[in-house]
């Protein structure tokens, strides 16, 4: 009776069930999987709430791609590249932006090349649009740069788009300038679109000199995604955006089609669009609160890795997460359960993000530094005592 876009079997995996049970029994005391910025003790600017209390929110004047004011505020928020507000499309979330882009670019059964390891939602987001994800590899030995051979192998006659996440979740790796140029040429030659998820772009950690962005690319049709959930630490506001770039004729054709698509949903609320200029401005303060945390927590990882040489960290170049390699004496599931049972610390198993070379744990860098340090200390102790 139901569509195969959704999984035939719902319900939690055995690991999720065990974690749910541990949470219910109060055995998870330190949650290093927390990526919700609103629950990790950050100070938000007080005038944020006032931004929503504008009488203008009471008038509904639908604008399919988003209001002129909100789109202008998003465009102005980009400081390194000039963005034309007419090329900005608002959605309620990045997930919705993906849904629109897959509808725009793909027929049912078409393919989209997606990076591995990366954000776990891509399998579902593609499947929900009747599109098939074709994974390509990021190379751990090369700082998680694009494995070009693997990407070439992932392309099929039905591929419509290549997805790039920079900084990537969870590896924190950024697109290299040489890979950007190569991708643009490849996309242009094969008439593919590029989808660049740059939601973590405001959080550089140890940026490489050759790190690059696809924003404003002119050689191939490109969609660059961002949103308040990361830029302003405000996932509950439900505002994300897509910047279209590329050859003018393709940009115009894509924009007209997105206009129709977005007009069929009109999902972005009026209050958030009225508040957008102030939310984006306040977001810069939130970024200033988040960044030192990311830096401090990454430094904590480095410190504990030195004390427990059996574990190592892939240095993230940006973003909110880090990948820690632990000895293969236990499986990833066993590590996760062991850390809960022995120390009340919750981490993600690497396979959750399709990390498949070695045994990895993924931690969020968002928790308060004292909480994070206690969690890392417990992990390092376990690694030392078990290896």
Q: List residues binding ligand PLP (CB under 6 A).
A: 35, 93-95, 119, 165, 169, 197, 199, 227, 229, 235, 240
Q: How far is the CB of 168 from ligand PLP (least distance, A)?
A: 7
Q: How far is the CB of 170 from ligand PLP (least distance, A)?
A: 8
Write phi, then psi, for 145 (nearest 5 degrees): -70, 165
Q: 3-class DSSP state for residue 312? A: strand
Complex with ligand PLP: residue 95 or 273, whichever CB lies closer: 95
Complex with ligand PLP: residue 366 or 383, whichever CB lies closer: 366
What are 268's two structure tokens? 């972005």
Q: How far is the CB of 146 from ligand PLP (least distance, A)?
A: 16
- Residue 93 to residue 99: CA distance in whole angstroms: 10
Complex with ligand PLP: residue 212 or 387, whichever CB lies closer: 212
Q: How far is the CB of 166 from ligand PLP (least distance, A)?
A: 9
Q: How far is the CB of 79 from ligand PLP (least distance, A)?
A: 21
- Name the burial class of residue 104, with classes exposed (0-12), middle (13-18) and buried (19+) by CB atoms within 10 angstroms of its CB: buried
Complex with ligand PLP: residue 96 or 332, whichever CB lies closer: 96
Q: How far is the CB of 191 from ligand PLP (least distance, A)?
A: 25
Complex with ligand PLP: residue 197 or 373, whichever CB lies closer: 197
Q: Who's near 381: CB < 8 A, 6+ residues apart?
A: 308, 343
Complex with ligand PLP: residue 125 or 220, whichever CB lies closer: 125
Residue 187 · residue 162 · CB < 8 Å: yes
- Residue 143 to residue 136: CA distance in whole angstroms: 15
Q: Where are the beta strands (DSSP E) in the chain?
A: 30-31, 88-91, 111-116, 132-139, 145-146, 159-165, 193-197, 222-227, 240-245, 312-314, 321-325, 345-346, 348-349, 360-364
């Amino acid at each position: 009776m139901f569509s195969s876009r959704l999984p035939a079997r719902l319900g939690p995996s055995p690991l999720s069930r065990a974690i749910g049970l541990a949470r219910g029994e109060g055995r998870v005391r330190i949650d290093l999987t927390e990526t919700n910025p609103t629950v990790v003790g950050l100070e938000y600017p007080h005038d944020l709430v006032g931004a929503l209390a504008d009488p203008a929110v009471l008038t509904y004047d639908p604008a399919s791609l988003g209001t002129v004011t909100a789109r202008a505020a998003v465009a102005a928020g980009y400081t390194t590249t000039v963005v034309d507000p007419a090329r900005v499309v608002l959605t309620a979330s990045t997930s919705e932006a993906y849904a629109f882009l897959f509808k725009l670019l793909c027929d049912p059964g078409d393919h989209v090349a997606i990076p591995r390891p990366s954000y776990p939602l891509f399998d579902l987001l593609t499947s929900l649009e009747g599109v098939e994800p074709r994974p390509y590899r990021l190379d751990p030995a090369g700082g998680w740069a694009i494995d070009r051979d693997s990407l070439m192998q992932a392309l099929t006659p039905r591929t419509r788009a290549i997805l790039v996440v920079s900084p990537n979740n969870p590896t924190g790796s950024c697109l290299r300038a040489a890979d950007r140029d190569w991708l643009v040429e490849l996309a242009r030659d094969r008439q593919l679109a590029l989808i660049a998820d740059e939601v973590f772009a405001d959080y550089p950690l140890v940026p490489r000199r050759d790190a690059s962005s696809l924003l404003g690319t002119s050689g191939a049709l490109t969609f660059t995604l961002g949103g308040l959930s990361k830029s302003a630490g405000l996932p509950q506001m439900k505002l994300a955006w897509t910047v279209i770039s590329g050859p003018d004729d393709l940009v115009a054709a894509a924009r007209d089609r997105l206009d129709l698509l977005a007009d069929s949903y009109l999902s972005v609320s009026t209050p958030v669009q009225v508040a957008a200029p102030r939310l984006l401005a306040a977001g810069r303060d939130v970024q200033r609160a988040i960044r030192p945390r990311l830096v401090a927590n990454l430094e904590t990882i480095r410190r504990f890795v030195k004390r427990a040489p059996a574990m190592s960290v892939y240095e993230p170049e940006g973003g909110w997460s880090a990948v820690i390699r632990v000895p293969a004496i236990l499986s990833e599931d066993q590590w996760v359960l062991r850390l809960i049972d022995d120390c009340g610390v919750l981490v993600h198993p690497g396979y959750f993000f399709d990390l498949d070379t070695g045994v990895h744990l993924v931690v969020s860098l968002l928790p308060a530094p004292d909480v994070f340090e206690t969690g890392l200390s417990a992990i390092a102790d376990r690694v030392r005592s078990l290896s």
